[in-house]
Every structure is written in structure tokens, then in C-alpha cells.
Amino acid sequence: MDNDDRRVRVTRRTVLESGTATAALMLTGFPEVALSAEPLSDKAVAPVAVDLQINGQSHTLHLDPRTTLLDALREHLALTGSKKGCDHGQCGACTVLLDGRRINSCLTLAVMHDGQSITTIEGLADGATLHPLQAAFIAHDGCQCGYCTSGQICSAAGMLGESRAGMPSYVTADLAEARPELTDAEIRERMSGNICRCAAYPNIVAAIREAAGTPT
């Protein structure tokens, strides 16, 4: 018998047969792997009571502890002004104010904010009187399709508070300045977490600059 006769001939059929045999061996050798594939989502989770202070009103909800603040607002309280854009904290459409500070409501759980004060876009106006930012967005056409607008306005409200408190940004030239001037560059940097897919950024910047000079 020469060397050519002793060579193993590899064909598509032999590859498939060996792969099938290996898979069968693994399944029979490790039966616990196949038996433990129970979906985690099928396990029951007991709801918990959460007291949310939304726009000055108290709401007691019984929620799955995995419920995000955004879903609690939209699905349980019908406050649909806060939008679910990316659901990953990347677009800013879900921005609300938590004790005056802006947060992405899709990235936080409702149970984490029991008793805290939360303001959504629905709570910014004073009755029929628009918040200065809302009026400025209308005047400068800062809302085209409108999907990001509630997040833009809530984020801008939080940002103006940060600016008045003297908090610097990445582009602030003088970190010791008591209240950095809100130039276009400052506004763009401070609002960089809010995406406008219509690209109405010049109008948004103009609206925020106008509202920055108005007491809120």
C-alpha cells in the first residue's frame, strides 16, 4: 500500500458526518446544558409599590422593579411627551428633570426614584403660560418633526440651571468664571447629548440663547 492509499479523503459528506457526531456527543455528554435553558423572562417578579412625584402630583404605582422610568411615565401614567427614541441613552429624546437635573429616563429604573421630584415636558408650562424655552422653540422654529423636542426642551432647562450655577463645560475657556457666557459653542457642547434627526440645530441654539436671557 503506498502513501496515497493511507491518506484520509476529506469530502463535504465526511465533514457533515463528523460535525453531527460531535454535536451528538456533546449533548449526551453534558445533558445539564440542554435541560437548563429556561428563559429568565419567564420567571415571575413580584411588583413593588413606588411613589413618584410627577409634575407636582403624587402617583403611587405597583410596578415590576425592572420597569424603566420612561416606561412608567408613558405606559402607566400616559405622559407620552417623553419619547422613546433609541432606548439606550444615546439620543436624549426621553430627557426629564430629576430634582432639577436632567437625566435620560430610559436608563434608570422607576423604583430608584421613589419620592423624588420629577418634571416632564407636560409640567414645564405654568397653566396656559408657556415656559420661556417652549415659547422660544416655537418662535425660532426649533421643532420640525417634533419627536426630539420634548427632550431638547427639558435638557435645555436643566442645562440653563447648570450654567447659572457656574458649572463649566468641555469648551469653557475660564474654569474660574462664575457664570460662563452661553456662546453658540457652549450651547452646542452642553446640548450634545440631544440628537435632532431633522438637523434643526441652528434654530435650537437660537431658541436657547433667547431663553437664557429670560428668568425662569
The whole-number average pLDDT for the span 86-108 is 97
| CATH number, residue 157 | 1.10.150.120
> What is the total count of domains within the chain?
2
159: in domain: yes
Phi, psi at residue 12, to the nearest 5°? -60, -35
- The number of angstroms, rounded, from the C-alpha of 106 to the middle of its chain's C-alpha atoms is 4
49: in domain: no
59: in domain: no
pLDDT in tens, 140-177: 999 999 999 999 999 999 999 999 999 999 999 888 88
> Does position 50 have pLDDT exceeding 50, yes or no?
yes
The confidence score (pLDDT) of residue 34 equals: 47
Phi, psi at residue 98, to the nearest 5°? -115, 110
Q: Look at phi and psi of residue 50 and say left if phi exceeds 0, alpha if psi is from -120 to 50, else beta.
A: beta
168 & 93 share domain:
yes
87 & 19 share domain:
no
**β-pair partners for 103:** 96
- Whether this prediction's pTM lies above 0.85 is answered by no
The three cell numbers of residue 57 are 402630583
31 & 99 share domain:
no
183 & 124 share domain:
yes
Amino acid at position 167, single letter? M
pLDDT tier for residue 55 given thresholds of 50, 70 and 90? very high
Range of the domain at 8: 3-37
165: in domain: yes
50: in domain: no
62: in domain: no
52: in domain: no
Please state, in angstroms and as integers, the Cα–Cα distance from residue 144 to each residue in 22, 33, 168, 176, 197, following that order: 58, 52, 30, 37, 9
Average pLDDT, the chain: 87
Among residues 48, 146, 66, the alpha carbon closest in space to that of 106 is found at 66
170 & 90 share domain:
yes
